[in-house]
Amino acid sequence: MTPELKEKIDNLLEQNKIMVFMKGNKLMPQCGFSNNVVQILNTLGVPFETVDVLSDSEIRQGIKEYSNWPTIPQVYIDGQFVGGSDILIELYQKGELQQLVEVALAS
């Protein structure tokens, strides 16, 4: 990963409390897993931003190196990698995601 790409990802995470690297965007997810993440965050009613990895091949590959996680989507809350679709679903069902989000948005 180039230093420029790392800086670009760092900046995106600093500027957005909840950031999702996904296929498509929050208005038009392009895969089921990305859609799951969008639906969960919409259900929580929290502000979040997305980056469409399909339109940026450098980020698509780079984010996998950045997080050391092989799949998309990837969810970051308060700059920390949380996981993908399965992990988000699990955290949501346990009620832990709501807590993570509330703490992040309050800080």
CATH code of the domain in which 84 resides = 3.40.30.10
Residue type, 36: N
pLDDT for 78 equals 95
The model's pLDDT over 38-92, given as tens digits with 9 standing for 90+, comes to: 999 999 999 999 999 999 999 999 999 999 999 999 999 999 999 999 999 999 9
Q: How many domains does the chain have?
A: 1
Residue type, 96: E
Domain of residue 67 covers 3-106
Per the annotation, where are the binding residues for [2Fe-2S] cluster?
A: 31
Quote the CA–CA distance of 106 and 92 in Å, as a whole number: 19
Per the annotation, where are the binding residues?
A: 31
